[in-house]
């Protein structure tokens, strides 16, 4: 198995465990995100282990790449139970988990596990899309409904959404009336004070980035943020008690230049070094 570069060989020493969730069965437009975890591992060899943004090096931290949840799973309930089992096990060992999707629906079982361990969990969500539909194409469980399902677990007031620039009128109204909803902007500085000391789960749909830097995704949405704004935003979260992270919706084959995969590897490096 290929591992993300600089992974430890021993899980016992690692504070952070990386896991791949290669699942894209509900992708409505362009599937392919199931190939993201392994693609990011391969391309991670092409970036530096040193972050000049943070003056830290991946060689100096303890993390372990534990591989993927079974790649052949195309049924959500099977993915859900396999993921919860794995994450429950890692959380019982007091690990932080950094998960690589897969489509955004993979976040649901991750948060189901996290909420059991941290009942006062709050969610920070970066995305182009609100993902607040109650149903999509007749399905309750879809990449387009995932934050609505998450709201049913953690409570909508415990969700903080940034960068949203696409959705139905109903989703935008639901967001404005129920979640902490910050469309278009990445203004996390408005909320960091109220998020101190609370356990926080960060879910990053990489399509929050503009398709000009990140075309390798299932539902690209023009009008997004640039790469350095995402890095700056992550930096502003420094000091918060971030207990889990996922980065989802990279679909490598939609970007023949490979820049989207490199951008993902670089963001993962920064996340590993930040939290």
Our finding on whether 207 is near Mn ion (CB under 5 A) is yes
Task: From 62-70, 93-101, 124-132, 253-261, give the range in contact with Mn ion by CB under 5 A.
Answer: 124-132
Task: From 32-40, 201-209, 222-230, 258-266, give the range in contact with Mn ion by CB under 5 A.
Answer: 201-209
Give me 111's structure tokens.
């948060």
Report whether 200 contacts 111 (CB < 8 A): no
Rounded to whole angstroms, the Cα distance separating 207 from 225 reads 9
Q: According to CB under 5 A, which one of 129, 133, 165, 266 is a site residue for Mn ion?
A: 129
Task: From 75-83, 127-135, 229-237, 251-259, give the range in contact with Mn ion by CB under 5 A.
Answer: 127-135
Closest approach, Cβ 189 to Mn ion, in A, equals 23
Closest by CA position to 202, among listed 268, 136, 266: 268
- DSSP codes joined into one string, 191-256: TTTTTTTSEEEEEEEGGGB-TTT---BSS--SS-B-HHHHHHHHHHTTTSEEEEEEEE-B-GGG-T
Report whether 65 contacts 3 (CB < 8 A): yes
Q: According to CB under 5 A, which one of 39, 127, 210, 255 is a site residue for Mn ion?
A: 127
Q: According to CB under 5 A, which one of 24, 39, 171, 205 is a site residue for Mn ion?
A: 205
Task: From 20-28, 35-43, 120-128, 134-142, give the range in contact with Mn ion by CB under 5 A.
Answer: 120-128
Our finding on whether 103 is near Mn ion (CB under 5 A) is no
Closest approach, Cβ 59 to Mn ion, in A, equals 33
Give me 96's structure tokens.
């932080």
Closest approach, Cβ 126 to Mn ion, in A, equals 9
Residues that bind Mn ion (CB under 5 A): 127-129, 205, 207
């Amino acid at each position: 198995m290929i591992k993300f570069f600089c992974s430890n060989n021993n899980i016992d020493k690692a504070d952070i465990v990386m896991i791949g969730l290669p699942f894209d069965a509900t992708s409505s437009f362009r599937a392919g995100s199931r190939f993201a975890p392994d693609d990011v591992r391969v391309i991670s060899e092409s970036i530096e282990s040193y972050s000049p943004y943070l003056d830290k090096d991946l060689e100096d931290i303890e993390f372990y790449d534990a591989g993927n949840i079974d790649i052949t799973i195309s049924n959500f309930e099977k993915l859900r139970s396999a993921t919860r089992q794995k994450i429950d096990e890692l959380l019982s060992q007091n690990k932080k988990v950094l998960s690589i999707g897969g489509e955004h629906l993979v976040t649901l079982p991750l948060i189901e596990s996290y909420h059991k361990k941290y009942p006062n969990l709050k969610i920070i969500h970066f995305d182009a899309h609100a993902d607040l539909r109650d149903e999509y194409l007749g399905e309750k469980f879809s990449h387009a409904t995932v934050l609505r399902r998450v709201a049913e677990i953690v409570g909508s007031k415990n969700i903080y959404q940034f960068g949203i620039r696409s959705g139905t009128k109903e989703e935008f109204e639901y967001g404005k009336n129920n979640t902490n909803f910050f469309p278009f902007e990445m203004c996390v500085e408005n909320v960091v004070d109220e998020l101190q000391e609370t356990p926080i789960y960060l879910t990053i749909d990489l399509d929050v980035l503009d398709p000009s830097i990140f075309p390798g995704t299932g539902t690209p949405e023009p009008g997004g943020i640039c790469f350095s704004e995402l890095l700056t935003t992550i930096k502003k979260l420094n000091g918060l008690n971030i207990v889990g992270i996922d980065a989802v919706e990279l679909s490598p084959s939609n970007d023949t230049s490979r820049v989207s995969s490199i951008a993902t590897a670089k963001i993962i490096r920064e996340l590993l070094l930040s939290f």
